[in-house]
Amino acid sequence: MLLHMSTWSEIEQYLKRCRSIVIPIGSNEQHGPIGLLGTDWMCPEIIAHHAQKTADILVGPTFNIGMAQHHIGFAGTITLRPSTFIAAIGDWVRSLAAHGFEKIFFLNGHGGNIASIEAAFSELYAEASFARRPAGFALKLCNWWDLEGVAALANKQFPTGHGVHATPSEIAVTQWAYPEAIKTADYSPKIANSGPIREAHDFRLRFPDGRMGSDPAQATPEKGGELVMLAAQSLVRELDLFTCESAPA
């Protein structure tokens, strides 16, 4: 079930049987010579949307702009400041909590978001702590590549040249979902360099075509489909465990 494709009364009915929701969250940023700019928000959205076709779960609208300041040296990247990102997450959670959602699961697709998402969670919990009251909701962050079995499958599919950005696994997922948008390019070296992530100017000098330790040419739609099927199954299990998590007495 998709929140944005539902009416308010359908969501009201859903809340009578379940108070959990999945929020795909990612970033709109460069992904090397062949990766789509939307890769980091598209991957969690693709997985979550596939999962809701097989289980009674609710998926919210995708939070598709994240903390990507280090990619701003590449055309098309859109980023929020960490403070803006944290504030926006806070308002999303407050809105959902106001309707009675109690378990809010963020499925993330961008490593650069992690620190800011966790900071947003801390801010929200702090509100309740200082007010000496229960928060009324629980928050969970899970990167799609950390879902059970996904990393092992990606390592099997891409034993070398997987890297950490513009990876063949994430590009394969988008190729499976959007075969009409598959790109090709010549680039060198075959496997990109690795290194630290700092500000945008430094990043562009270290990684001139945007890749980090990866060879995305290994991606195929077939491999992407395998990743999506496994990740969707794991997401359903993770959400079920989160939903059934009992509050302390």
Q: What digits encode the pLDDT tens for the residues 164-203?
A: 999 999 999 999 999 999 999 999 999 999 999 999 999 9
- Is-contact 244 105, C-beta < 8 A? no
Give, in order, the Cα–Cα distances in Å from 241 to each of 32, 60, 140, 172, 246. 36, 19, 11, 28, 10
pTM, rounded to two decimals = 0.97
Please name each of the domains of the chain with its CATH number: 3-244 (3.40.50.10310)
Task: For residue range 97-136, list pLDDT tens digits in order.
Answer: 999 999 999 999 999 999 999 999 999 999 999 999 999 9
